[in-house]
Amino acid sequence: MPTSEKICQLMSFITIKSLFLQTDNKPEFTLQIMKPSALFLDRDGVINVETNYVWRVEDFKFTEGIFKLCRKFQSAGYLIFVITNQAGISREYYSENDFFTLNKWMLNRFSEMGITITKVYYCPHHPEITGPCDCRKPEPGMIKQAENEFDINLPDSVLIGDNISDITAGKNAGVGTNILIQTNTIPEYLLI
């Protein structure tokens, strides 16, 4: 049985319009499904403090304000996605399994704070090692994948990153609002 919160979230995406026909004055209903908006977050430098190639739980420190920011967007009906370049995998600084272990721990911390991260997209490539790809930011591949999988309304979505490549990826994908922040700092105006 869906909770009332889930029903409210679903209803926030549904608009029912009643049109009265002049011929017989009977209402005709059309159901218009609105696409959800998304909050796209870079990981290193936005979600966690950037210390170069974070892959161990003991080295992962959440950026101050990240939970408040996510709660704000989640309560407004946004789906939350993480989009992260993880070239440390192709450079063999850590394995994909190391990334998955840290990712699982991070998602559990968000869940404990009442925040649902819809999905984490990552690019394990590095152009000098694996060649070019369409997922490594500034390419829009990870964002476009989320759009395709979750039918996201990109023009009404928000991306927050700490690198110009994050912002370029958002613009290239068609994200409506792209916010460049100082690394490891969630600006106060985003928390209000």
Instruction: List, as one string, the DSSP characters of 38-67.
Output: EEEE-TBTTTB---SS--SGGG--BPTTHH
Q: How far apart are CA 49 and CA 43, in angstroms?
A: 9
CA distance 28 to 17: 8
Concerning whether 166 is annotated as a catalytic residue, the answer is no
Please compute the mean of the pLDDT values over residues 159-184 and round it to a whole number: 97
* Contact (Cβ atoms closer than 8 angstroms) between residue 103 and residue 124: no
Give the least confident one: 6-10, 56-60, 124-128, 144-148: 6-10
Work out the pLDDT band at 21, boundaries 50, 70, 90: very low
Question: Crossing angle, helix 164-173 and helix 141-150, to 10 degrees?
Answer: 40
Dump pLDDT digits (tens) for 83-139: 999 999 999 999 999 999 999 999 999 999 999 999 999 999 987 888 889 999 999
Tell which residue, 66, 163, 84, has the closest CA to residue 121: 84
**Domains of the chain, residue spans:** 35-190
Domain 35-190 belongs in CATH node 3.40.50.1000: yes
Neighbours of 166 (CB within 10 A): 26
pLDDT digits (tens, 9 = 90+) for 45-97: 999 999 989 999 999 999 999 999 999 999 999 999 999 999 999 999 999 99
The residue from 24, 42, 59, 162 that is catalytic is: 42
- Catalytic pick from 24, 44, 59, 162? 44
pLDDT for position 128: 84
Does residue 156 carry a catalytic annotation? no
